[in-house]
Amino acid sequence: MRIAFVAANREVLPDPVIPLGLLSVLEACPSTHERLFLDLCFEPEPERALRDFVREQKPELVALSLRNLQSADYSDAHSNVQAYARLVAAVREVSEAPVVLGGGGYSLMPEALLERLGADFGVAGEGEVVFPALVEALTTGGDTAEVAGLYRRVEGRAHAPRTMPPFVDLATLKFVSRRRVDRRHYAASGIESVQTKRGCPLHCSYCTYPTIEGHQSRLRPPSHVADELQHIRLEAPEVDHFFVVDSVFNLPRRHALAVSDAIAERGIDLPWTCYANPLGFDGELAEHMVAAGCVGIEVGSDSGSDTVLAKLGKSFDAAAIREAHRVAESAGLLDCHTFLLGTPGETLDEVKRSLDFIVDLAPSAAILMVWNDDAEALVPPSASPRTELRQSILDLLSAQAASQGRWVVPPLGKRFDARRFSLLRRRGLSGPLWQHLG
């Protein structure tokens, strides 16, 4: 079968990211099939590019990866859903090939999106087992309704899978070929994406990660992670940094330790950053991470108030955030903390206390987001709702952000805009840009 794998993501803030998940699904598909690949990230006219590609290449199946439902900017978070619908329509104009949807964004609303975009099939969560099973059914004339984990649209209505497949055994995954990656990704940021596990054991009330990856931690053998980094060195020598895309790198702690040691033992000399949780982050682990090349951690701290942290189902309190900062600083790691202000039930006083907390914490960078009830909405808000609380928080932030050089405030575009980012890159700065605020 001739299959077109198409990456639909066009977000470039804070940096463009390689379509790691889609490429992994491509690798999992037997090479007896013809596997074509198109990345729309840098295409000035994505619909036309896709239409031309499909017209010329005549795929018999189109796999469309939908990573982000929204833009990076939560202030007036724009929805990408209409743009995705136009892509499906562009395929339909020139081809009768079935369209299969997948990706992190798609996984959050598999039924609604299948109907709304008018595609034929969808896979929520990891695609390395379900997609090849669908290809097998389509090539052998099997019943697609029997494919475990497959959403189908029949007469305009989405049908959920009858059964779910087992999780993918990460030890069996092939390395993604970085030769297929559009070099403009590396030219833009030099950042590579690497995964050491799937699943998040935490239960933060608002978080979608477990919906995509499940709660159960499934680990890649540490030696595979180190092997993959060597493979990246060969296939993409221009890479000068990698980001660990795990929901949280340091949980389980023993895996983080083993992965760090495997990287250090190989002598892979490549700086990296990751998401870390104050839980299970201590001096010993930080030292091993640094020895493996880790230069910074991103922490979803969310609030400086214990009441709010408890309400959000966070597994730590404000004292643990301070301790994580202390540990990072003594190990020589930069730390970037994201805070989410004005969450449901939070008062303006609590927000003010959080701001005092952040000033006092003085991390390498703080990213301040303001809760937006509409952020998850499928229908794009033309302008985000300016509730009274939201507006008061934004006013507080505008007043304070000017004097806080390490605060990034995406809803106000403060230290978070494409022009500033490209200026910094042109100065040759590598890795996530928050590291260079100081």
Residues that bind ligand B12 (CB under 6 A): 9, 11-12, 14, 16-17, 20-22, 24-25, 63-65, 67-70, 72, 100, 102-105, 107-108, 123, 126-128, 131, 191, 193, 195, 208-209, 212-213, 243, 245, 247
Residue 35 or 67 having the CB closest to ligand B12 = 67
384, 76 Cβ separation under 8 angstroms: yes
Least distance between ligand B12 and beta carbon 349 (Å): 26
Q: How far apart are CA 130 and CA 175, in angstroms?
A: 18
**Smaller CB distance to ligand B12: residue 208 or 223?**
208
Smaller CB separation from ligand B12, 15 or 318: 15
The whole-angstrom separation of Cα 195 and Cα 192 is 10
Nearer CB in complex with ligand B12: 75/354? 75
CB 400, min distance to ligand B12, A: 22
Give min distance, CB of 365 to ligand B12, in A.
13
Residue 48 burial (10 A CB sphere; 0-12, 13-18, 19+): exposed
Select 301 or 318, whichever has its Cβ closest to ligand B12: 301
Per the CB < 8 A criterion, the answer to whether 339 and 371 are in contact is no
DSSP string, 205-216: TT--HHHHH-SS
Element (H, E) at 289: helix 283-291
Alpha helical stretches, state H, 43-121 = 46-57, 81-94, 104-108, 110-117
Q: Give CA 291 to chain center in angstroms.
A: 26
Nearer to ligand B12, 318 or 416 (CB): 416
Shortest distance (Å) from residue 100 CB to ligand B12: 5
Least spacing, CB of residue 33 vs ligand B12, in Å = 14
**Closest separation in Å from C-beta 319 to ligand B12:** 26
CA dist 63 and 38 (Å) reads: 10
How far apart CA 194 and CA 215 sit, in angstroms, is 19
